Structure 1
């Protein structure tokens, strides 16, 4: 390898380390979730026992659980290409796992006052810098999916 290549690799490793330790990253990995939701064991966690990365994000939806579940199932598929259903407890939990088994995305519904609470957890097996580089894209995609489910369920509840 050339010195320039080594320097580029070192710079990328340093940048990854800074991003990995930043408070902004921690905020993004837990966007919308409470401390209890972040620390609680959820169905699907057991599929990757020692993850390299865990994100727990959540949103409150002004609608009954029965208004949210159909949108959760419908939108989770297109938002998760290459994933298969690992567990489905209708009205409560949908756990998806990548074909390679290195990523688990679980969606959990619960009652929150008169509303629904949608918790999304992603667990990623160890995989190096590539995983870290993908985090901003996953954040944007997951957030858009959660807000899309929220919007559709709330609109449906008003009808």
Structure 2
């Protein structure tokens, strides 16, 4: 009967792995976001009203939206990078250099502009309100280009001003599958996206807090101004 015990142990191990993966997966799809932020309707949601996968992530930034927005507006491979792991992205030839200063010429200007993920893959700006939100739309196909992707995708960056003048940056990804096998591509990629998004949010926070105007930073932290 030893084989029965071995089988039972194997089933238990697999079950534990699946359960742990499910918990990690759930946490990754809502990293940093409150229950209210998960339920909140955000700009761009209406573009994909029935998504197959949604990830909402957020971070608090001790700076007002006016000082966070410039870092959002220059995101992109063709702009100021993504504040993630440049060395890792460049290993696969993405050629990203994250800027550590605000460069006005790199900012998106309006709907129709492009934000590149890679030299041959661009998302389109489909909604923009300065200091409030930026919504991108597009996808990446199996061959690494933007042509013929099996899913549709929106990526929203939303700045919520808090009562103390600081900012909640909420980022939402929405995926709508266009083929029966789209999940096989999206699900693994989305786990990688979580790791990059978590780093990006921290990077934006650190840069915005470092470059925020002193008076604005003092208001958002509740500290008296040195001046």
TM superposition score normalised by structure 1:
0.81
Mapping 1:44-123, distance limit 5 Å: 44-76=44-76, 78-79=81-82, 81=117, 82-98=122-138, 102-114=152-164, 115-123=166-174
5+ residue gaps, structure 2, are 1-13, 83-115, 140-148, 215-227
Asked if the contact 2:124–2:136 (Cα under 8 Å) also holds between the matched residues in 1, the reply is: yes
Moved over 3 A (4+): 76-80
CA shift digits 1:110-143 (9 cap, x unpaired): 1123211100000011222111111221001111
- Using the alignment, how far apart are the partners of 1:88 and 1:158 within structure 2? 24
Helix, strand or coil: the match of 1:58? strand
Helix, strand or coil: the match of 1:96? strand
Aligned-residue Cα RMSD (Å) equals 2.3
Asked if the contact 1:75–1:145 (Cα under 8 Å) also holds between the matched residues in 2, the reply is: no
77-86 or 31-40: bigger deviation: 77-86
- Using the alignment, how far apart are the partners of 1:117 and 1:45 within structure 2? 18
Q: 2:196 aligns with which of 134, 141, 144?
A: 141
Structure 1 residue 84: deviation in Å?
1.1
Q: 1:128 aligns with which of 159, 178, 183?
A: 183
For residue 6 of structure 1, what is the aligned residue in structure 2?
none
Which structure dedicates a bigger proportion of its chain to helix? 1
- Using the alignment, how far apart are the partners of 2:132 and 2:213 within structure 1? 22
5+ residue gaps, structure 1, are 1-13
Q: Which has the higher contact order (CA 8 A, sep 6+)?
A: 1
TM superposition score normalised by structure 2:
0.58
Q: 2:209 aligns with which of 138, 154, 159?
A: 154
The structure number with the bigger radius of gyration is: 2
**How many pairs align?**
144
CA shift digits 1:17-49 (9 cap, x unpaired): x48x71211111000000000011111011112
Asked if the contact 2:65–2:131 (Cα under 8 Å) also holds between the matched residues in 1, the reply is: yes
